[in-house]
Amino acid sequence: MTADVEQLEFQAEARQLLDLMIHSVYSNKDAFLRELISNASDALDKLRFEALQNKDWDVDTSDLHIELEVDKQARTLTVRDNGIGMTRDEVVSLIGTLARSGTAELRRKLQEAKDSAAAEELIGQFGVGFYSTFMVADKVELLTRKAGTRGGTRWVSTGDGTYTVESVDDAPQGTAVTLHLKPVDTDDDLHDYTSEWKLRELVKKYSDFISWPIRMQVERRTPGKDGGEDQVTVETQTLNSMKALWARPKDEVSEEEYKEFYKHISHAWDEPLEVITMKGEGTFEYQALLFIPSHAPFDLFHRDAKTGLALYVKRVFVTGDCEQLIPRYLRFVKGVVDAEDVSLNVSRELLQQDRQLTAIRRRLTKKVLSTIKSMQSERPDDYRTFWSQFGAVVKEGLMSDADNRDTLLRICSFASTHSDEQLTTLPEYVERMKEGQDKIYFATGQSREQLLKSPHLEAFKAKGYEVLLLTDPVDELWTGTVIDFDGKPLQSVAKGEVDLDTEEEKKAHEAEREEQQREFGDLLSWLKDVLSDHVKEVRLSTRLTESPACLITDNFGITPALARMYRASGQVVPVGKRILELNPKHPLVKGLQQAHANRGEDDTPLRETAELLYGTALLAEGDIPEDPARFAGLLADRLARTV
């Protein structure tokens, strides 16, 4: 060892994950090879692309390949590539930490994952990549040199929480990962990763489509002449067919092959819910192979969550996470697009303006949406899985993709007052609309339970009108953009005026309303004055049947929930005053009216009642009064007088 060998600790989450791997009873230990080969293949892709962009770069790209090397005596398996390699800093940051987004989420789940089954699932979901080697090895060595630089780095760990890094003078370009394999029962070829047979099988199964040759030296025995000793010769064989999966006709590719390819490109361990193949001919030639995953990745809602499509040009990898190929709201779609006529030398910036990519993006979007739509009608179980994982992301499209808005509205499903268990689609809602109902009503909030108890819903319940219960944060946003569906306006139950009466009912109620207006008029203007810091108007309600009061936002006003979201993201939002609506039939409101009419000089108790009324209206919608301590004090005083 040279002097600069450094011993470092894995970052806490990485250590926990490693621990999981080492003690894992994960049934599919073979997967480690797929992970190593995937990483090697990515490294070769990156090198070739860099070299194409930078013709003067002094690197050797003449024979890019992956190599498996076995030492049966030492029980080691080495996976070597002559790709891009890593610098010492990169080794530390990429291998020593979980540098990717979603780590916080992983940390939480790791704490929750009590039993081993939960931990196994976690391994599958997070896709542990390089660390999976510790399922089969008790020591792992990595030797790497970044292409175009001198000097390499050796990294060694037994997975016990620390690793060493050391600079070495001489290392071949690229990366070699050597596994010191755990002992196996003799004769157990099934799990012996030094067995030629086993390695061949695994490469065929997991990595056949890798576009780089995966080579191995194999021994060939030929019987010796005249009964003499067998002749042993060593030759190098390529184990994979290297056929790009997306370029093969769909009926020639097995489901297994698609699944493995999905795992390779997505670095995920779940199964795809749907495989989509596409071919564009004519002006814009391209082939695409897309997957809809069955599990949302950890970082789906992370600000820098990556999109999932890789761009190839005539089989040559150009870039992963190609933003231009798919809108943000479909960022969970994984896959490959291979275009014919994009220039390979084009920079990332120019890619953004590429007309061909824009056209492809439009078609991919339509295709993905129509696939989800068919899934919805033909495979409802899969659709439900899909929606539970990705629904909240898809809804982002309602704001950003006006062209596909109608299709998007049709594939969305929502909780509603119609059923406790099942979600509803908008067409189903419209189908159930009551005679005389001309709007689609919805409520937004934090949970179904809270919404169901909200005073805003009372009139709708009484009338038997269905209300959509929208509880994703994104619902606050898109409902401000989408005006209608199928010609029916979308209306928040907490906004504007609500009048569910038919024309006849209106006539019948007219006299009563006028009477109420006369009766309560003074109280309303007095309250408006007393509560002027909080509300801009006080009026009688047609939406309340049980509660005394509720708060309403103007039709185009910002709801408190939305204001909170904006503030949380650092934006300044003016405090919009709302409207206080009173239920003229409620004993509290009636009593207040009486007390107001008979009030004397000192109206302090009455003012306090007004404050309490306003505070309870906030509480009823799940909010808290502006000054909770004062509210609690007022309430306690009041209660003290009634016990």
Rounded Cα distance, 14 and 117, in Å:
19
494's CB contacts (< 8 A; 6+ apart) are: 443, 444, 454, 456, 550, 551, 552, 553, 559, 621
Residues 235 to 254: which contact ligand ADP by CB under 6 A? none
Q: Which of 14, 17, 31, 35 binds ligand ADP (CB under 6 A)?
A: 35
Q: Which of 10, 21, 26, 39 binds ligand ADP (CB under 6 A)?
A: 39
Identity of the residue, 94 or 399, whose beta carbon is nearer to ligand ADP in the bound complex: 94
Of the candidates 99, 87, 203, the one whose C-alpha atom is nearest the C-alpha of residue 151 is 87
Q: What is the closest distance, in whole angstroms, from the C-beta atom of residue 31 to ligand ADP in the complex?
A: 11
Beta sheet of 272-280, edge-to-edge order: 272-280, 286-293, 334-339, 308-313, 316-319
Q: What is the closest distance, in whole angstroms, from the C-beta atom of residue 219 to ligand ADP in the complex?
A: 27
Residue 284 interacts with ligand ADP (CB under 6 A)? no
Q: What is the closest distance, in whole angstroms, from the C-beta atom of residue 306 to ligand ADP in the complex?
A: 11
Residue 84 interacts with ligand ADP (CB under 6 A)? yes
Of the candidates 588, 595, 602, the one whose C-alpha atom is nearest the C-alpha of residue 523 is 595
Rounded Cα distance, 250 and 602, in Å:
84
Q: What is the closest distance, in whole angstroms, from the C-beta atom of residue 334 to ligand ADP in the complex?
A: 13
Alpha helices of 208-285 — where are they, by DSSP H? 255-266
Q: What is the closest distance, in whole angstroms, from the C-beta atom of residue 41 to ligand ADP in the complex?
A: 9
Residues 140 to 169: which contact ligand ADP by CB under 6 A? none
Site string for ligand ADP, 382-421 (x = CB under 6 A): ----------------------------------------
Answer yes or no: are the C-beta atoms of 410 and 420 closer than 8 Å. Answer: no
Residues 161 to 220: which contact ligand ADP by CB under 6 A? 175
Residues 255 to 274: which contact ligand ADP by CB under 6 A? 267
Q: Select the span of 123-131, 399-407, 450-458, 509-517 touching ligand ADP (CB under 6 A).
A: 123-131
Q: What is the closest distance, in whole angstroms, from the C-beta atom of residue 376 to ligand ADP in the complex?
A: 31
Residue 130 interacts with ligand ADP (CB under 6 A)? yes
Q: Which of 96, 102, 127, 280 binds ligand ADP (CB under 6 A)?
A: 127
Q: Select the span of 82-90, 392-400, 498-506, 578-586 touching ligand ADP (CB under 6 A).
A: 82-90
Q: Which of 17, 33, 37, 43 binds ligand ADP (CB under 6 A)?
A: 43
Which DSSP letter does residue 286 get? Answer: E
Q: Select the span of 83-91, 226-234, 287-295, 597-605 touching ligand ADP (CB under 6 A).
A: 83-91
Residue 81 interacts with ligand ADP (CB under 6 A)? yes
Pairing between β-strand 578-582 and β-strand 535-540 as defined by DSSP bridges: parallel
Rounded Cα distance, 539 and 427, in Å:
35
Identity of the residue, 40 or 326, whose beta carbon is nearer to ligand ADP in the bound complex: 40
**From the annotation, which residues make up the binding site?**
35, 39, 81, 86, 101-102, 125-130, 175, 348
Structure tokens at 633: 């004090």
- Write out 333-397 in H/E/C secondary structure: CEEEEEECCCCCCCCHHHHCCCHHHHHHHHHHHHHHHHHHHHHHHHCHHHHHHHHHHHHHHHCCH
Structure tokens at 461: 């319940």
Q: What is the closest distance, in whole angstroms, from the C-beta atom of residue 147 to ligand ADP in the complex?
A: 10
Structure tokens at 8: 């470092």
Answer yes or no: are the C-beta atoms of 171 and 214 closer than 8 Å. Answer: no
Structure tokens at 454: 């909200």
Which DSSP letter does residue 93 get? Answer: I
Q: Which of 12, 94, 278, 482 binds ligand ADP (CB under 6 A)?
A: 94
**From the annotation, which residues make up the binding site for ATP?**
35, 39, 81, 86, 101-102, 125-130, 175, 348
Tell me, what amino acid is at 205? Answer: K
610: phi then psi, degrees, rounded to nearest 5:
-60, -45
Angle at 613 between CA 584 and CA 593, to 5 degrees: 40
Q: What is the closest distance, in whole angstroms, from the C-beta atom of residue 7 to ligand ADP in the complex?
A: 20
Whose tokens are 């999981």? That residue is 20
* Helix or strand run (H / E) with residue 275: strand 272-280
Q: What is the closest distance, in whole angstroms, from the C-beta atom of residue 146 to ligand ADP in the complex?
A: 9
Identity of the residue, 175 or 541, whose beta carbon is nearer to ligand ADP in the bound complex: 175
Q: Select the span of 2-10, 57-65, 78-86, 531-539 touching ligand ADP (CB under 6 A).
A: 78-86
Q: Select the span of 37-45, 199-207, 301-309, 520-528 touching ligand ADP (CB under 6 A).
A: 37-45
Residues 95 to 114: which contact ligand ADP by CB under 6 A? 95
Q: What is the closest distance, in whole angstroms, from the C-beta atom of residue 266 to ligand ADP in the complex?
A: 9
Beta sheet of 419-424, edge-to-edge order: 419-424, 414-416, 467-470, 440-444, 488-492, 484-485
Q: What is the closest distance, in whole angstroms, from the C-beta atom of residue 575 to ligand ADP in the complex?
A: 45
Q: What is the closest distance, in whole angstroms, from the C-beta atom of residue 129 to ligand ADP in the complex?
A: 2
Q: Select the span of 39-47, 188-196, 309-317, 339-347 touching ligand ADP (CB under 6 A).
A: 39-47
Q: Which of 17, 86, 477, 620 binds ligand ADP (CB under 6 A)?
A: 86
Q: Which of 19, 83, 273, 423 binds ligand ADP (CB under 6 A)?
A: 83
Structure tokens at 195: 């067995």
Q: Which of 129, 159, 548, 625 binds ligand ADP (CB under 6 A)?
A: 129
Identity of the residue, 84 or 253, whose beta carbon is nearer to ligand ADP in the bound complex: 84
Q: What is the closest distance, in whole angstroms, from the C-beta atom of residue 565 to ligand ADP in the complex?
A: 31
Rounded Cα distance, 472 and 28, in Å:
36
168's CB contacts (< 8 A; 6+ apart) are: 2, 143, 151, 152, 153, 154
Burial tier of 559 (Cβ tally within 10 Å: 0-12, 13-18, 19+): buried
Identity of the residue, 34 or 395, whose beta carbon is nearer to ligand ADP in the bound complex: 34
* Furthest-apart CA atoms within the chain: distance in Å: 127
Identity of the residue, 63 or 533, whose beta carbon is nearer to ligand ADP in the bound complex: 63
Residue 589 interacts with ligand ADP (CB under 6 A)? no
Identity of the residue, 80 or 578, whose beta carbon is nearer to ligand ADP in the bound complex: 80
Rounded Cα distance, 344 and 358, in Å:
17
Whose tokens are 């819910």? That residue is 273
Which residues sit opposite 232 in a β-bridge?
A: 221
Q: Select the span of 79-87, 217-225, 294-302, 398-406 touching ligand ADP (CB under 6 A).
A: 79-87
Rounded Cα distance, 161 and 12, in Å:
9
Binding site residues, ligand ADP, CB under 6 A: 35, 39-40, 43, 81, 83-86, 94-95, 127, 129-130, 175, 267
